[in-house]
Copies of this chain bind each other. A is one copy, B any other.
Amino acid sequence: MDFAHSARSADLLERVTRFVRAEIEPVEAEHHRELARLDNPWVVLPRVEQLKARARAQGLWNLFLPAESGLSTVEYAPLAEAMGRSLLAPEVFNCNAPDTGNMEVLHLYGSPAQQDRWLRPLLDGTIRSAFCMTEPDVASSDATTMAATAIPDGDEVVLNGTKWFSTGVGHPHCAVAIFMGLTDPTAPRHAQHTMVLVPLDTPGVTVERMLPVFGRHDEPYGHGQVSFTDVRLPLDSVIAGVGRGFEIAQGRLGPGRVHHCMRLVGLAEKALELACVRATGRVAFGKPLADLGGNRERIADARIAIDQARLLVLNAAWKLDTRGLDGARAEVSQIKVAVPSMALSVIDLAIQLHGAAGLSDDFPLAAAYAAARSLRLADGPDEVHRGVVARLELAKYRRESR
């Protein structure tokens, strides 16, 4: 294992960290207050585009994509952590989900025409995208239950079905969605699904409603329920080929899960920082909160939990870099189990130390909690990933009778 920074990644880390602390965190609270004051918050505030422009000008742009940044996953990890401190930051660096995953898909599997039309503007940050996979009526943790369909019909492909929790679909710049549907239930288990690029203005595509997550709509991104009714698209909208949806989904989710976990480590660090500031600055019963009851022990446990989680994420990143997705399957599932729960417990501690203020939006903690909670479900619930870890562990043992 070697988690050392290269000179370049160390330099980038220093610059990303400085940018986040100097330019994003100081305006974050006001940014959210401004949005909250709007009658229609489904807009892009000028601040965001200005920040993006500045980040891009400094070369802090698309760092997530090895083909663009030249960074390994291990090198990108601390950058993602630095961005994760703020829910606003990833977009500023054009490193926000689900666009990162979608760009990876287009980079790896897109045709030149698809890359020209969608990847280029996504890399430029001029459009946004969505990923339409989860469905309301089936257990999406089991992809084989998917009900939406993508049926080739001559030189077209026809999409039907309802997707939900399609994140980002509410953004005014959201131009395209990647849709996954069942094509052939008689094909081998992992060759039944197809992924299709769907311009959001295609007839038959309707954003039915925006869904709150833990009470939040996360404007202007949002989580949408989207119906697809006889949506017809040219066959060259299919990514990689009919029946390759499952394969692409696996490829997309691997690094995506690592990125999510990296950002959560940063979010937990931010929460612990707020907790410590509060614990040292707020007085009750004549003492700083830090000196009351079990608060110090909880702060210690939070520090330990974060450091363990970071190391586990680096380990998964290193496995991904050195053994590829297949060789890092257990490690990726490990962090998907461990990191969101760690983050939730650190954020919850920070909330508790802030008292009622911690529940409000005067601090970014309640929003952080919602974000971390959703990651115990998104991209596979804890239980599925525990199952992967256990399966690979038990596979080391032959059945022996005792």
Contacts and interface: CB of A to CB of B under 8 A. Distances in A.
Interface of A: 1-4, 134, 136-137, 139-142, 145, 164-165, 211-216, 272-273, 276-285, 288-290, 292-301, 303-304, 307-309, 311-312, 314-315, 330, 334, 337-338, 351-352, 355-362, 366-367, 369-370, 373-374, 376-378, 381-383, 385-391, 393-394, 396-402
28 contacts: A140-B356, A145-B284, A164-B356, A213-B360, A215-B216, A272-B393, A276-B393, A276-B396, A280-B394, A280-B398, A281-B400, A288-B399, A290-B394, A293-B294, A294-B294, A295-B383, A296-B394, A297-B390, A299-B389, A299-B393, A303-B330, A303-B390, A304-B312, A308-B309, A311-B312, A352-B381, A352-B383, A359-B377
Nearest to A331: B307
A357 B140 CA distance: 11
Given A3-B3, A139-B289, A399-B281, A369 B214 contact: yes
Contact of A381 (B137, B142, B355, B367): B355
Given A215-B215, A303-B393, 8 more contacts: A139-B289, A211-B360, A215-B216, A281-B402, A296-B387, A303-B390, A307-B334, A355-B381
B356 A377 contact: yes
Instruction: Name A's interface SS.
Output: helix
Nearest to A225: B360
Contacts of A391: 296
Contacts of A282: 139, 402
Given A293-B296, A304-B312, A390-B300, A284 B402 contact: no
B277 A397 contact: yes
Instruction: State the copy count for this chain.
Output: 4
A213 B214 CA distance: 11
A366 B382 CA distance: 18
A397 B280 contact: yes
Contacts of A383: 292-295, 297, 352
Which of A272, A281, A356, A369: most chain B CB closer than 10 A? A356
A387 B300 contact: yes
A315 B307 contact: yes
A212 B362 CA distance: 9
A280 B400 contact: yes
Contacts of A279: 394
Nearest to A301: B386
A261 to B, nearest CB: 12
Given A304-B334, A394-B296, A399-B281, A314 B1 contact: yes
Given A2-B2, A212-B366, A397-B280, A352 B376 contact: yes
Contacts of A381: 352, 355
Which of A352, A357, A400: most chain B CB closer than 10 A? A357
Nearest to A212: B361
Contacts of A288: 399
Contact of A214 (B337, B355, B359): B359
B390 A304 contact: no
A160 to B, nearest CB: 20
A11 B341 CA distance: 38
Contacts of A315: 307, 311
